[in-house]
Amino acid sequence: MKHRVVSHSEKETFAFAREFAKTLRGGEVVALIGDLGSGKTTFVRGLARAFGIREPIRSPTFTLMHIHHVKRKFQIPNSLPDRQAGKFQIRTLVHVDAYRLQNARELEEIGIGEYLGKPDTVVLIEWADRVKDILRRSKKVHELRFFHGKELERKIILKTKKARAVAT
Amino acid sequence: MRILGIETSCDETAVAIVEGRGEKVRVLQHEVASQIRIHARYGGVVPEVAARAHVEKLDLLLRGFGTRDSELGRDGKGIDAIAVTAGPGLITSLRVGVDVARTLAWAWGKPLVGVNHLEGHIYANWIGHATCNTQHVTFPAVVLIVSGGHTELVLMTGHGKYRLLGATRDDAVGEAFDKVAKILGLGYPGGPAVSKAAERGNPDAIAFPRPMINSKDFDFSFSGLKTAVLYRVRDSNFKLQTSKFTADVCASFEKAAVDVLVEKTIRAAVKYKAKAVLLAGGVSANRRLRKDLGYAIAERLPTTHYSLPTLEFTTDNAAMIAAAGYFRARKRQFVDPMKLEPKANWQL
Dump pLDDT digits (tens) for B81-103: 999 999 999 888 999 999 999 99
pLDDT per position as a tens digit, B29-60: 999 986 444 443 433 444 456 688 888 889 88
pTM of the predicted protein model: 0.90
Across the interface, which of A56, A59, A111 has its CB nearest the CB of B175?
Answer: A59
pLDDT given for residue B131 in this prediction: 46
Instruction: Please give the Cα distance from A79 to A51 (Å, whole number).
Output: 15
Query: Measured between CB atoms, does B225 come within 8 Å of chain A?
Result: no
Instruction: Please give the Cα distance from B58 to B23 (Å, whole number).
Output: 29
**Chain A: nearest CA to B255, how far in angstroms?**
20
When pLDDT is cut at 50, 70 and 90, the band that residue A85 belongs to is low
Please choose, from the candidates B130, B167, B348, B193, the residue with its C-alpha nearest in 3D space to the C-alpha of residue B264.
B167
Measured between beta carbons, the chain B residues lying within 8 angstroms of A37 are 179, 223, 226-227, 230
CB contact under 8 A, A59 and B167: no
H-helix or E-strand spanning residue B183? helix B173-183
Please choose, from the candidates B231, B300, B289, B235, the residue with its C-alpha nearest in 3D space to the C-alpha of residue B266.
B300
CB contact under 8 A, A67 and B345: yes
When pLDDT is cut at 50, 70 and 90, the band that residue A109 belongs to is confident
Check: CB of residue B83 under 8 Å from CB of residue B321.
yes
pLDDT given for residue B69 in this prediction: 63
> B271 CB contacts (<8 Å, ≥6 apart)?
none
Radius of gyration (Cα) for chain B, nearest Å? 21
pLDDT given for residue B154 in this prediction: 98
Distances (CA, A) of B284 to B125, B133, B149, B150: 11, 21, 13, 12
Residue of chain A whose Cα is closest to the Cα of B148: A62
Instruction: Please give the Cα distance from B13 to A105 (Å, whole number).
Output: 19
Mean pLDDT of A141-153: 92
Measured between beta carbons, the chain B residues lying within 8 angstroms of A67 are 344-345
**Chain A: nearest CA to B81, how far in angstroms?**
28
Distances (CA, A) of B226 to A33, B120, B137, B175, B252: 18, 28, 35, 9, 12
Distances (CA, A) of B340 to A21, A93, A114, B57, B112: 37, 26, 21, 22, 9
H-helix or E-strand spanning residue B126? none
Substitution target in A53, A57, A109, A126 with the highest count of B β-carbons within 10 Å is A109
Residue of chain B whose Cα is closest to the Cα of A112: B92
- Taking 70 as the pLDDT cut, the residues of chain B under it are 34-50, 67-69, 129-135, 238-241
Query: Measured between CB atoms, does B52 come within 8 Å of chain A?
Result: yes
